[in-house]
Amino acid sequence: MRLELGHVNISDVQFGAETKIENGVLYVNKEELISLIKEDEHLKEVDVEIARPGESVRITPVKDVIEPRVKVEGPGEIFPGVLGKVETVGSGKTYALKGCAVVTTGKIVGFQEGIIDMTGPGAEYTPFSKTNNVVLICEPVDGLKQHDHERAVRFAGLKAAKYLAEAAREVTPDKVEVFETLPLLEQLNQYPDLPKVAYVQMLQSQGLLHDTYVYGVDAKQIVPTILYPTEIMDGAIISGNCVSACDKNTTYHHLNNPVVADLYEKHGKELNFVGVIITNENVYLADKERSSNWTAKLAEYLGLDGVIISQEGFGNPDTDLIMNCKKIEQKGIKTVIITDEYAGRDGSSQSLADADPLANAVVTGGNANEIIELPAMDKVIGSLEYIDTIAGGFDGSLKEDGSITVELQAITGATNELGFNKMSAKGF
């Protein structure tokens, strides 16, 4: 499967009479976008704002972040099985609006929604302070239950991203990257002397607002399976998560999965990247056993030498992470795991809820409990009223002057477990 990914660089976003891209500027017809999103009867009010890098703007509570992408050639559409037909994606040509994202906010769904600061110390910790953000503020109709509310806002974000990306369809991309993974036997023969490596991606599926969708299927319902890496770039996996903001894999993270990108970077040079094994993080023990047995079985079946395993969330999924790691290592296949830490505010507590000596190669996205002070911003998109109760906040997090003291946990993407950021932690 071969995908050409065209980068359409967006240096600014502005409202305009027509939604279009000109000289790297994305113009958005606000009314048209709002009326598209308001088609959903679950949403009472919808507004759109723009937040640019460096502006004194705070967005909260953030639910999802999505990079607008459009398929210009090849089968299927973006977000197959969700917005598009359930055609297999990952081949042909796709354009991505680089430097631009859709961010969804509005009344809180659960507790686990985040903060994005476009400037100041908090901006260092979130990748979305560097993107030009089209922010949807979605207010649900009265009495809407949390799961219906989450779904309505999830679809709002995806629809907005799809709508904006259409503007790129006829644009000539600034850069084109080509990714190719061959059918397995051919792929093994292409680089017979290089170690065979796959990526085991664990998808958040604890349920009760902790869900991920694969081609529209709730990941709780899947057994581990294999994807071409390029399928992910076309939106095969989307987030439906209210997991703590810091280690929630937003849809943007999935589309731009850094493990996939960095394995491709070494593909044909130092390793042979043969594919992605996706698995879930269900809460029942039998499911954990079955899924980890299957990831190990698939890793063996593919004849792998090594895997990178990434996690989403923390606590309960730590057990899935360790089970996957242990069982794959026991097959004689080398593993590196990517996680993050909950070592307490002073960093002195044990970081994970499970551990095993076979997990001897760990990459960490940092300690999510570490405290950060966020100064007040000139403008808030969304609302500050949930700051004390979102995951990572506590009584008194929000000060009268609008400044905030919270754990990094509350910052969207801060300790990402796909390894999206540079942050790590050291033992002292």
Partner 1 sequence: MGKIKVVHYINQFFAGIGGEEKADIKPEVREEVIGPGMALNAGFKGEAEIVATVICGDSYFNENVEEAKAEILEMVKKYEPDLFIAGPAFNAGRYGVACATITAAVQEELGIPAMTAMYEENPGVDMFRKDLYIVATKNSAAGMRDAVNKMVPLALKLAKGEEIGTPDEEHYHARGIRKNFFADKRGSARAVDMLIKKLKGEEFQTEYPMPDFDRVEPNPAVKDISKATIALVTSGGIVPKGNPDHIESSSASKYGKYDIEGFEDLTSETHETAHGGYDPVYANEDADRVLPVDVLREMEKEGKIGKLHRYFYTTVGNGTAVKNAKAFGEEIGKELKEAGVDAVILTST
- Residue numbers annotated as active site: 242
Q: Is 336 in the site for partner 1 (CB under 8 A)?
A: yes
DSSP SS3 for 147: helix
Contact 124, 413 (CB under 8 A): no
DSSP string, 15-56: E-SS-EEETTEEEE-HHHHHHHHTTSTTEEEEEEEEE-TTSS
> Binders of partner 1 among 286-305, rule CB under 8 A?
305
Shortest reach from residue 22's CB to partner 1, in Å: 32
> 246, exposed or middle or buried, with CB in 10 Å at 0-12, 13-18, 19+?
buried
Shortest reach from residue 346's CB to partner 1, in Å: 7
Mark residues 350-369: x for contact with partner 1 by CB under 8 A, - for none.
Answer: xxxxxxxx-xxxxxxxxxxx
Taking the C-alpha atoms of residue 42 and residue 138, their distance in angstroms, rounded to an integer, is 10
Q: Which is nearer to partner 1, 192 or 357 (CB)?
A: 357
Pick from 132, 407, 412, 413: which binds partner 1 (CB under 8 A)? 407
Hey, what amino acid is at 367?
N
Structure tokens at 92: 């042909």
Q: Is 343 in the site for partner 1 (CB under 8 A)?
A: yes
Q: Is 315 in the site for partner 1 (CB under 8 A)?
A: yes
Q: Is 112 in the site for partner 1 (CB under 8 A)?
A: yes
Site stretch for partner 1 (CB under 8 A), options 32-40, 54-62, 82-90, 344-352: 344-352
Contact 410, 245 (CB under 8 A): yes
Q: Which is nearer to partner 1, 31 or 346 (CB)?
A: 346
Sign of CA pseudo-dihedral 76, 77, 78, 81: negative
> Binders of partner 1 among 226-245, rule CB under 8 A?
242, 244
Q: Is 395 in the site for partner 1 (CB under 8 A)?
A: yes
Shortest reach from residue 192's CB to partner 1, in Å: 15
> 396, exposed or middle or buried, with CB in 10 Å at 0-12, 13-18, 19+?
exposed
Q: Which is nearer to partner 1, 29 or 249 (CB)?
A: 249
Pick from 250, 295, 339, 412: which binds partner 1 (CB under 8 A)? 339
Q: Which is nearer to partner 1, 76 or 313 (CB)?
A: 313
Tokens 């529209």 — which residue? 216
Contact 322, 357 (CB under 8 A): no
Pick from 341, 382, 398, 413: which binds partner 1 (CB under 8 A)? 341
DSSP SS3 for 248: coil
Shortest reach from residue 137's CB to partner 1, in Å: 22
Mark residues 1-40: x for contact with partner 1 by CB under 8 A, - for none.
Answer: ----------------------------------------
Partners of 337 in beta bridges:
309, 362
Site stretch for partner 1 (CB under 8 A), options 51-59, 64-72, 227-235, 347-355: 347-355
Taking the C-alpha atoms of residue 119 and residue 125, their distance in angstroms, rounded to an integer, is 10
Taking the C-alpha atoms of residue 401 and residue 337, their distance in angstroms, rounded to an integer, is 41
CA nearest to 335, candidates 349, 345, 324, 348 = 324
Shortest reach from residue 23's CB to partner 1, in Å: 30
List the end-to-end C-alpha distance of the chain, in Å, as a whole number: 46
Total residues contacting partner 1 by CB under 8 A comes to: 88
Q: Which is nearer to partner 1, 23 or 348 (CB)?
A: 348
Q: Is 114 in the site for partner 1 (CB under 8 A)?
A: no
Shortest reach from residue 169's CB to partner 1, in Å: 30
* Close Cβ partners of 90 (under 8 Å, ≥ 6 residues apart): 1, 3, 227, 228, 229, 230, 231, 232, 233, 234, 236
> Binders of partner 1 among 178-217, rule CB under 8 A?
195, 197, 206-210
Q: Which is nearer to partner 1, 47 or 262 (CB)?
A: 262
Establish whether the linkage from the previous residue to 61 is cis, with ω within 30° of 0: yes
Shortest reach from residue 372's CB to partner 1, in Å: 10
Taking the C-alpha atoms of residue 362 and residue 419, their distance in angstroms, rounded to an integer, is 11
> Binders of partner 1 among 247-276, rule CB under 8 A?
258-259, 261-263, 265-266, 270-271
